[in-house]
Amino acid sequence: MITVNIIGSGNIAQHLITNFENSDTVILKKVYARNSNALPSNLHISKIITDIAHLTQADVCIIAVSDSAIQEVSENLPFTNQFVVHTSGTMPMQCINDKNRKGVFYPLQTFSKNKEVDFKTVPICLETESESDYKILEKLAFSLSEKVYSISSEQRKSLHIAAVFVCNFVNHLYKIGNDICVENNIPFEILLPLIEETASKIEYLTPSEAQTGPAIRNDNNTINKHLEMLNDITKKEIYTLLTQSIQKDANKKL
Give, as ranges, the residues between 2 and 61 that touch a copy of itself (CB under 8 A).
none
Residue 47, Cβ density class (10 Å: 0-12 exposed, 13-18 middle, ≥19 buried): middle
215 counts as binding a copy of itself under rule CB under 8 A? yes
Comparing CB distances to a copy of itself, the nearer of 99 and 219 is 219
Calculated CA dihedral for residues 167, 168, 170, 176, nearest 10 degrees: 150
Smallest gap, in angstroms, from Cβ of residue 132 to a copy of itself? 25
Smallest gap, in angstroms, from Cβ of residue 211 to a copy of itself? 5
Residues in 181-200 that interact with a copy of itself by CB under 8 A: 181, 183-187, 190-200
1 counts as binding a copy of itself under rule CB under 8 A? no
State the Cα–Cα distance between residues 245 and 58, nearest whole angstrom: 49
Please identify, among the stretches 20-28, 72-80, 110-118, 128-136, the one whose residues bind a copy of itself according to the rule CB under 8 A: 110-118
Smallest gap, in angstroms, from Cβ of residue 154 to a copy of itself? 7
Comparing CB distances to a copy of itself, the nearer of 54 and 201 is 201
φ, ψ at 185 (rounded to 5°): 55, 40
Smallest gap, in angstroms, from Cβ of residue 78 to a copy of itself? 28
State the Cα–Cα distance between residues 239 and 248, nearest whole angstrom: 14
Comparing CB distances to a copy of itself, the nearer of 90 and 143 is 90
Please calculate the CA angle 139-29-18 and round it to the nearest 5 degrees: 70
Question: From the centroid of its chain, how far is CA 184?
Answer: 33
* Pick from 109, 151, 158, 157: nearest CA to 127: 151
How many residues of this chain interact with a copy of itself, rule: CB under 8 A?
A: 95
Task: Enumerate the β-bridge partners of residue 124.
Answer: 107, 148
Calculated CA dihedral for residues 200, 104, 140, 34, nearest 10 degrees: -100
- Lay out the site mask for a copy of itself across 139-158 (x = CB under 8 A, - = otherwise): --------x-x-x--xx-xx
Please identify, among the stretches 12-20, 35-43, 73-81, 230-238, the one whose residues bind a copy of itself according to the rule CB under 8 A: 230-238
94 counts as binding a copy of itself under rule CB under 8 A? no
